Copies of this chain bind each other. A is one copy, B any other.
Amino acid sequence: MSATEMNPAPVVIGVDVGGTKIAVGAVTRTGEMVQAGRYPMDRSTQQTSLTSIQVALDDFLSSWPHAAPLALGFGVVGRTDPAAGIWVRSMNIPISESVDMTARFGAPYGLRAAVDNDVHAATLAELHWGAGREARDFVYLNVGTGTATGIVTNGALVRGAGNHAGEFGHTFTGVAPDVPCPCGRCGCLEPVASGGGLIERARELLPAYPDSPLHVAEQQGQLNAHAIFAQADQGDPLATRLADDMVNALGIALANLINLLDPQAIVVGGGVWADGWLLPRVQRIVQATALAGALSDLESIAPSSLDPDHVGLLGAAILAWEVVAERE
């Protein structure tokens, strides 16, 4: 038995609640992931969703061999009230009645439970164990199914007056101003510059581009951001239109944000960056359009140094460590 096993460091439990899976992990105060597990999510109803989380947590804790953890932290989708520890509501996972996370999940173990949305959680992971080790002012920009940011100023996460801060996806940029957004407005960033928006927009435009190779991708179930970027490189007019709008909208919105906040770093995360196509193109727009002063302070626009499979879990664990710190 190693020294660590004999005298293990205290841990909290982080729970990353996604639409298809639940990740649970035990994390030390220095960000070491001691043990982690993945569990299925049945999001048919609010009840099945909460039961899935309970089952995952119970299973993980029943096999946890060390001293009891100090707190629980949950990163979830939708609206949360972190100060009160409440998951207020969510569309993607159907939460219509608000959930007191300590009462529902912590109480059986005698533990307090913290909660915040997944982007705030990922940003906290960056703050404590990623970009934040170097920068007191940075922005975490997630482009996956949607587009969202976590903002850090003066070394602290910006939650805003009601925990709504970071809705970068609803920036109006003037690019594709007539494209409707699920929020009810037109011209938002998200429908033009997210993975989900890109696919939806491609589907709407495909009938007008009968020769586009994206028809084949669609038939093969392969219509995604990477297929669109690849076809843009081949000169397909539809893919080029979609990709150009995305690059321009993201570049403009990011330049606006950089001028406003003067960050030291932009950390990018989310699946849409994965193939490396998007980043240099967005960097070029930002370099060409942001102000010289802010650009001189911006050291990098670069992918996170954290493991994308773990960033949500680590962020959920930070939420729990914040609860522990409050108590101390």
Binary contact readout A227-262 vs B (1 if CB under 8 angstroms, 0 otherwise): 000000000000000000000000011011101111
Within 8 A of B (CB), among A288-315: 289, 291, 293-294, 296-299
**How many angstroms from the CA of A136 to the CA of B167 in the assembled complex?**
19
| The stretch of A151-159, A205-213, A275-283 that contacts the partner chain | A151-159
Max chain B Cβ within 10 angstroms of own Cβ: one of A136, A159, A166, A256:
A256
The answer to whether the Cβ of A118 comes within 8 Å of any Cβ in the partner chain is no
Give how many copies assemble into the complex: 2
Whether B154 pairs with A154 at a CB distance below 8 angstroms is: yes
Whether A173 pairs with B172 at a CB distance below 8 angstroms is: yes
The answer to whether the Cβ of A91 comes within 8 Å of any Cβ in the partner chain is no
Whether A160 pairs with B291 at a CB distance below 8 angstroms is: no
Q: With contacts A137-B161, A160-B137, A164-B291 known, is A259 near B296, CB below 8 A?
A: no
Name the B residues within 8 Å of A65 (CB-CB).
none
Whether B158 pairs with A261 at a CB distance below 8 angstroms is: yes
**How many angstroms from the CA of A230 to the CA of B93 in the assembled complex?**
52
Q: With contacts A153-B153, A158-B261, A167-B259 known, is A172 near B293, CB below 8 A?
A: no
Whether A256 pairs with B183 at a CB distance below 8 angstroms is: no
Binary contact readout A259-278 vs B (1 if CB under 8 angstroms, 0 otherwise): 11111100000000000000
* Shortest beta-carbon distance from A167 to chain B in Å: 4
**How many angstroms from the CA of A164 to the CA of B261 in the assembled complex?**
8
Partner of A161, one of B160, B257, B262: B262
The answer to whether the Cβ of A142 comes within 8 Å of any Cβ in the partner chain is no
* Shortest beta-carbon distance from A241 to chain B in Å: 18
Whether A298 pairs with B161 at a CB distance below 8 angstroms is: yes
Whether A153 pairs with B162 at a CB distance below 8 angstroms is: no
The answer to whether the Cβ of A149 comes within 8 Å of any Cβ in the partner chain is yes
* Shortest beta-carbon distance from A247 to chain B in Å: 14
The answer to whether the Cβ of A170 comes within 8 Å of any Cβ in the partner chain is yes
**How many angstroms from the CA of A165 to the CA of B264 in the assembled complex?**
11
Partner of A172, one of B79, B174, B177: B174
* Shortest beta-carbon distance from A151 to chain B in Å: 7
Name the B residues within 8 Å of A256 (CB-CB).
170-172, 253, 256
* Closest 7 A/B residue pairs (Cβ): A174-B174, A160-B262, A162-B297, A161-B264, A161-B297, A165-B262, A164-B262
Can you report 17 residue pairs joining A to B where beta carbons are below 8 Å apart?
A: A151-B260, A153-B165, A154-B156, A160-B261, A160-B297, A162-B297, A165-B261, A165-B262, A166-B262, A168-B259, A170-B291, A171-B260, A172-B256, A172-B289, A174-B175, A253-B256, A257-B260
